[in-house]
Amino acid sequence: MGGAAGGPVGLVHLSYLMWFHNGAMANGAAWPLDYCTAEQIAAFTTAAVYFELDEIADLIGRLEPDDALSHEYRDLSSPFGEDASLIRDALRCKLVEAAQDWV
């Protein structure tokens, strides 16, 4: 699976963010180090920044092969035990703030 190559900018960023999130939740936060190109990892970071998820962007920039950041990522992305709740909230804000990015 990969991120969207084209389309509305909001959907492209959402695709990359969810690609990272789903992989991190299934395989641990370090999964991109073994399976993704540097450009794809940069796209994950760019997507997190687009959604103003700076702590997630920072975490992606600090990935380590030993997967020590998986628990930190789970705590960041899914506070209160709700999977991807932080991402859902950021998506709702971005849909209002930058509606033109979704058409």
- Per residue in 45-69, pLDDT (tens digit) is 999 999 999 999 999 999 999 878 9
Considering the entire predicted model, what is its pTM?
A: 0.91
* Average pLDDT value over all residues in the chain: 92
pLDDT along the chain (103 residues), means of 10: 72 97 95 96 98 97 90 89 91 96 95
DSSP letter assigned to residue 27? H
CA dihedral of 17, 19, 25, 26, whole degrees rounded to 10: 180
Quick one: which of 55, 51, 53 has its CA closest to 97?
Answer: 51
